[in-house]
Amino acid sequence: MERGTIVKVAGPLVVAEGLAESKMFDLVRVGEQGLMGEIIEMRGDRASIQVYEETEGLGPGDPVEGTGAPLSVELGPGMLGAVYDGVQRPLDALERIAGSFLSRGISAPGLDREKRWEFVPVVETGAQVVGGDFIGKVQENEVIEHRVMVPPNLQGEIVSISGGEYTVTDTVAKLKAADGTTHNLVMMQTWPVRIPRPYARKVSAEEPLVTGTRVIDTFFPLVKGGVACIPGPFGAGKTVTQHQVAKWSNAQVVIFIGCGERGNEMTDVLMEFPELTDPYSGEPLMKRTVLVANTSNMPVAAREASVYTGITMAEYFRDMGYEVVLQADSTSRWAEAMREISGRLEEMPGEEGFPAYLGTKLAAFYERAGKVETLTSGEPRTGSVSVVGSVSPPGGDLSEPVVQNTLRVVKVFWALQDTLAYERHFPAIDWLTSYSLYLEKLRPHWDEEVSREYRSRRDECMAILQRESNLAEIVRLVGLEALSQEEQILMETAKSIREDFLQQNAFRDDDQFTSLKKQDLLLQTILLFHEKALSAQKHGAPLKGIFTAPVRERIARAKYLTEDELAVFDEIASDIETQLVGEGEGEA
């Protein structure tokens, strides 16, 4: 291995000489303790290295050793349920080695080398295979079947394969390539984190990622394979919203990246997720989850690596044909890490000190999401990676560079407002500034799976909320009584939409998750009341009688109905017809 020496240390940035044979993004070991680092700039035989551990004690003359390989992750059985740091070191293994307080220079493989897995072949000797083809399967747990694939860069004939119990490094099959070389196939793949895994082609995504959160699923939906951004100030609920998506989304695999998050928030995730039950399988949620924990007190350089580590894992499960949702919390702290490293490299700064390539880096990351046809020689199969990235703009300023560069590449914008959070309106997603560009793509699915009126009801409710916003200033100045009776009914309906539909309790069992069918029934009920209230008012019914009708209480509590109680909506509709028609006819 090539050896060099340190000539400069500047925080997490180390400059070393004597690495003429090394390449950009090669992994190196720095100092006597062998700290993990990555080359991010080359000038002749002088390399600038970002170190993923604390550089205290390093100095000129200390050794640097090149590995000749880029920063990579290990992909195979054993990933699900694991908790990694930003460079895929399993935290439970590091704790066994060094205790609760990790020392520098320690490392452990991403996948357990001792555990044996039951490998079941799905091809026979003599089969012709290409990269991405399945050669076997491992039942990793009760929820997910791990499909062992041919590495993307190989193809040829299977000359031997056998089932049984193996470790991830044992040979399970041999492949003879066209050039006559023989390759040993194991259950583990190693892949560079900065290079996207290949696929056959991208396809249009037209199925919703159902999260059970009403304001998201109905008003600003995300497709499987789509990208979404959650910007918002401190305390507005970014992390809780992402937790809800992770817990309740209809994706098959969840990757959660705590990128520069506060330690107490990551602790909540680590303590809560193992206790949660997967609503789709009844098993613990961790059985389909991978956690990447890189808290704000960890070395700043590892924040960038954690994002790429997570997306590479997501692509691997996508290649198996699974639908994956990746949560990145928060991309602002990743951008701050880029800014710090860029400053130490003495690069020309861009807006607010961020590097000029900030937009390019963000776009390249989000571009790795999508629904694809995977590599295979048989029947085409599809998989998807949906990415939800939170952004923490200082002071909630949505005009700052990270938010603006993110909005250029995402198609769903869930804007969190601290004013809504202070009013105890959760999720605090502002319905006036948020948007989704997937509405037309989802219309065919909604028409077939929910109802043909679902989209029109959604649009009608949005129009009512926007009209309420326009009238709100008049109400503040001269009072509600200054509005016409029709406008007062509209204001009351808007209040019902906000409180009975948009507000949702993430900690109440009967309100955490709402199916699309139930969401449609809730909208239908609220709009039916609006329609009948206008009709009753035209027939002379007093507004007080309309607004105090007993059915109003039933509408307010309808969101707490279980999926087995949806027939109650018919009773509520009948009550609306009876009570409001009665009001109008009586006065007439």
Q: Domain with 460 in it: what CATH number?
A: 1.10.1140.10
Domain count across the chain: 4
Within-domain flag for 447: no
Supply the CATH number for residue 46's domain. Answer: 2.40.30.20
Within-domain flag for 567: yes
Supply the CATH number for residue 227's domain. Answer: 3.40.50.300
- Say yes or no: 213 and 341 in one domain: yes
Residue (of 256, 386, 253, 273) closest to 320 by Cα position? 253
- Say yes or no: 468 and 528 in one domain: yes
What residues make up the domain containing 381?
A: 201-437
The whole-angstrom separation of Cα 485 and Cα 184 is: 78
The whole-angstrom separation of Cα 60 and Cα 16 is: 9
- Say yes or no: 517 and 543 in one domain: yes
Contacts of 149 (CB under 8 A, 6+ apart): 131, 132, 133, 134, 135, 189, 319, 320
Q: DSSP characters for 343-356?
A: HHTTPPB-GGG-BT
How confident is the model at residue 356, as a pLDDT? 93
Within-domain flag for 416: yes
Domain boundary among 155, 188, 221: 188
Q: Is 467 helix (H, G, I), strand (E, B) or coil?
A: helix
Report residue 142 as tokens.
Answer: 């009760």
Q: How many CA atoms lie within 13 A of 354 on its CB side?
A: 20
- Say yes or no: 211 and 155 in one domain: no
- Say yes or no: 206 and 183 in one domain: no
- Say yes or no: 377 and 524 in one domain: no
- Say yes or no: 228 and 353 in one domain: yes
Which residues of the chain are under the pLDDT cut of 70? Answer: 582-588
- Say yes or no: 240 and 181 in one domain: no
- Say yes or no: 393 and 488 in one domain: no
Residue (of 427, 370, 376, 407) closest to 243 by Cα position? 427
β-pair type (83-84, 289-295): parallel
The whole-angstrom separation of Cα 302 and Cα 282 is: 35
* Residues 453-506: tens digit of each pLDDT: 999 999 999 999 999 999 998 999 898 888 999 999 999 999 999 999 999 988
How confident is the model at residue 281, as a pLDDT? 81
Instruction: Please name the residue that has the structure tokens 């056998």.
Output: 162
How confident is the model at residue 583, as a pLDDT? 58
The whole-angstrom separation of Cα 451 and Cα 517 is: 8
- Say yes or no: 388 and 521 in one domain: no
- Say yes or no: 140 and 244 in one domain: no
Q: How many CB atoms lie within 10 A of CB 531?
A: 15
Supply the CATH number for residue 174's domain. Answer: 2.40.50.100
Domain boundary among 141, 156, 188: 188
The whole-angstrom separation of Cα 252 and Cα 367 is: 21
CB distance 300 to 228 below 8 Å = no
How confident is the model at residue 587, as a pLDDT? 44
Sheet holding 171-176, edge to edge: 128-130, 155-161, 171-176, 182-186
Q: Is 564 helix (H, G, I), strand (E, B) or coil?
A: helix
CA distances from 366 to 229, 250, 363 (A): 10, 20, 5
How confident is the model at residue 101, as a pLDDT? 74
Instruction: Please name the residue that has the structure tokens 């992909």.
Output: 75
Largest CA distance in the chain: 96
- Say yes or no: 229 and 281 in one domain: yes
Q: What predicted TM-score, i.e. pTM, was given to this entire model?
A: 0.93
Within-domain flag for 51: yes
CA distances from 125 to 157, 159, 160, 162, 474 (A): 8, 5, 5, 9, 78
